[in-house]
Amino acid sequence: MKKTVTTLADGRELIYYDSRDDLVREAVDPRPLDAVSTSSEIRRDPLLGDSVAIASHRQGRTYHPPADECPLCPSREGRQSEIPEPDYDVAVFENRFPSLAGDSGRCEVVCFTSDHDASFADLTEEQAGLVLEAWTDRTAALAELPQVKQVFCFENRGAEIGVTLGHPHGQIYGYPFVTPRTELMLRSMAAHHAKTGRNLFDDVVAHEEEDGSRIVLAAEHWIAFVPYAAHWPYEVHLHPRRRVADLRELDEEARTEFPQVYLELLRRFDRIFGPGEPPTPYISAWHQAPFGIPGREDFGLHLELFTIRRTSGKLKFLAGSESGMSVFINDVPPETAAQRLREVASQ
């Protein structure tokens, strides 16, 4: 992998990740951009104890532009985008409309490919491996920022999820606090260890493997299953068999196998609802250990992949119980979801 760091016209950082070492990235962003001005602010809820990002400047962000005006496609004569080069493998840049900025954290955009009409599932194993390297490198870089306490790499796919740009891309958030979801995991992890003396993540994986009814895919270095208490209609958790705290700690064997496993999971997701159905909307989310916390080494890196589509043409809405009380009601039994995801395996 070759990494090239440059800046856009308004001073934001842009990083190219290339599979070829001989590529030279020298294109300059000629756009007359003003420096990015954000109103991002973190406010703490005194009742729930969690943090909310207030970011009114995001109201003006780009919203469903036509394909020939996509800001994530390579630049071409007569149309400059966020990527000055005429082509690229993987590109990462600071978000022009960040939810978190400055002392409030950092937001980056990860462009998985220059092909506007592709999806992550269309990537080759080499391309998917390069994205993994980019995620890992950015995790390492953001870990060095004093204001960042946790790094979150994720992808939103599909208009139903709320995606405003159709180009295949994801995001990376550097939070200035430990997220509420992670706080709950850490609490459960500590309680489990106090009760049993064992690691919660290890026990969850071992239980799923022993039960077997919710296993979706079992490889040499990774295992994927629908969790026992899945929140979403189709939800898969992907764990490395050797527990690590974050992406930086994955060994070479796990890195090599990851593209095969992850691409297979994404392709199965697109086959859940049968032929002729539109691509399955999903969220793919890496859960990594926060920085500087006691027992960080006991956290288990894992990826959660889920869709809000519960059946053909119907979505799972977060209504009263879910939105008002954070109590999920799942219409699809986890064992049924796992069986379906096994049925649609690649032949």
Catalytic residue list:
169
Residue 236: which residues within 8 A CB-CB, separation 6 or more? 216, 224, 225, 226, 265, 304, 305, 306, 341
Go through the chain and tell me how many residues it has: 347
